[in-house]
Amino acid sequence: SVKDYQAADNALSDKVILVTGAGDGIGREAALSFARHGATVILLGRTVKKLESVYDQIVAAGGAEPAIVPLDLKGATMEHYQGLNATIMDQFGRLDGLLHNASLLGILSPFTHIEKDDWDDVMQVNVHAEFYLTQALMPALMAAPKPSLVFTSSGVGRKGRAYWGPYAVSKFATEGLMQVIADEYENTGLRCNAINPGATRTKMRSKAYPAEDPMSLKTPAEIMPTYLYLMSDDSFGTTGQSFDAQ
């Protein structure tokens, strides 16, 4: 199964892959893992120090020199996204993979207590930024021979759960966007899928489940097979699907 996919050492050589939220958690591990398999990674995130540390780790391991894109998706605009597409076209001539990973958890609370600012922030980062960033990067993606677009979902993006208001709704929207794009680009060579990471040992998870023992959870490294599969040419032709990484 895809969960046990074993990527060849050079599975991603010659690929340029952008990861959002690449400074921490699952995004950090995905960037390191893609680079280890030969990709040139573009590290997008809001905390430059964290991105620099991922950059250093990749270079120290002998990986291709990454690019850093400091961007807070909360305040980002269409101009940022289009500028990014132009820069990627200038430097690389294409974008082979795009992993939408950055997300806000927001506040977990009864939905009558959710305030407008909190709803708006979660929707802005988890849905609007994702939508417009994808739209703006479509020229760079379509310039790649076998482009792969990957969204990050969640269990609560498939079945709603009490107190998970904005976050759950944003993940339903993410699954929907994935399906719309997959259908719209069928037979174009662009594939578009989603991953539900499942419970994974990160800061977001411990914020959502403060009483849980983190050591009982899978690490980001343990869920990488599904990420590598979807970025490698082995998944060419697979589209419109939502995968469980665990």
Enumerate the active-site residues. Answer: 167
Residue 172 DSSP one-character state? H
Nearer to ligand NDP, 121 or 143 (CB): 121
Quick check: 231 binds ligand NDP (CB under 6 A)? no
**Which candidate, 156, 155, 147, places its Cα nearest to that of 239?**
147
Quick check: 63 binds ligand NDP (CB under 6 A)? no
Nearer to ligand NDP, 7 or 104 (CB): 104
Q: CA-CA distance, 96 to 73, in Å (whole number)?
A: 21
Least separation, in Å, of the C-beta of 24 and ligand NDP?
3
User: Does residue 41 sit in helix, strand or coil?
Assistant: strand
Least separation, in Å, of the C-beta of 51 and ligand NDP?
9
Quick check: 193 binds ligand NDP (CB under 6 A)? no
Candidate residues 154, 179, 235, 239; the one interacting with ligand NDP per rule CB under 6 A: 154
Convert residues 99-118 into a mask of x (bound to ligand NDP by CB under 6 A) and - (unbound).
Answer: --xxxx--------------
191-218: burial string, b at 16+ Cβ within 10 Å, e else: bbbbbbbbbbbbebbeeeeeeeeeeebe
Nearer to ligand NDP, 21 or 144 (CB): 21
Quick check: 202 binds ligand NDP (CB under 6 A)? yes
* 246: Cα separation from own chain's centroid: 16
**Which candidate, 16, 190, 10, 13, places its Cα nearest to that of 92?**
16
Q: State both tokens at 142.
A: 């379509």
Candidate residues 26, 168, 169, 194; the one interacting with ligand NDP per rule CB under 6 A: 26
User: Does residue 99 sit in helix, strand or coil?
Assistant: strand
**Which candidate, 45, 31, 43, places its Cα nearest to that of 68?**
43
Convert residues 67-96 into a mask of x (bound to ligand NDP by CB under 6 A) and - (unbound).
Answer: -----xxx----------------------
Residue 70 DSSP one-character state? E
- Interface residues with ligand NDP (CB under 6 A) are 21, 23-27, 45-47, 50, 72-74, 101-104, 125, 152, 154, 197, 199-200, 202-205
